[in-house]
Amino acid sequence: MNSLRTSLLRLTVIVFAVVPALPGCAKRSENAAADAAPAMHQHHPPHGGTPVVLGDEQFHLELVRDAAAGTLSGYVLDDEMEEFVRIAAPSLVLDVRLGGKTQRLVLSPVADLATGETVGNTSLYQGQADWLRTEGHFDATLEPVTIQGSAFGPTPFNFPSGNDRN
pTM, rounded to two decimals: 0.74
Residue range 37-91, pLDDT digits in tens: 444 445 688 889 999 999 999 999 999 999 999 999 999 999 999 999 999 999 9
Residue range 97-151, pLDDT digits in tens: 998 999 999 999 999 988 899 999 999 999 999 999 999 999 999 999 999 999 9
Residue 149 and residue 99 in contact, taking contact as beta carbons nearer than 8 Å? no
What are the domain boundaries of the chain? 2-35, 50-159
144-160: buried (b, 16+ CB within 10 Å) or exposed (e) per residue?
A: ebebeeeebbebebebe
**Residues in contact with 144: Cβ distance below 8 Å, sequence separation at least 6, in sequence order:** 151, 152, 153, 154
50-159 CATH, one of 3.20.14, 3.40.1130, 2.60.120, 2.60.40: 2.60.40
Q: How far apart are CA 150 and CA 166, in angstroms?
A: 23
Q: Is the pLDDT of residue 23 over 90?
A: no
Q: How far apart are CA 92 and CA 118, in angstroms?
A: 15
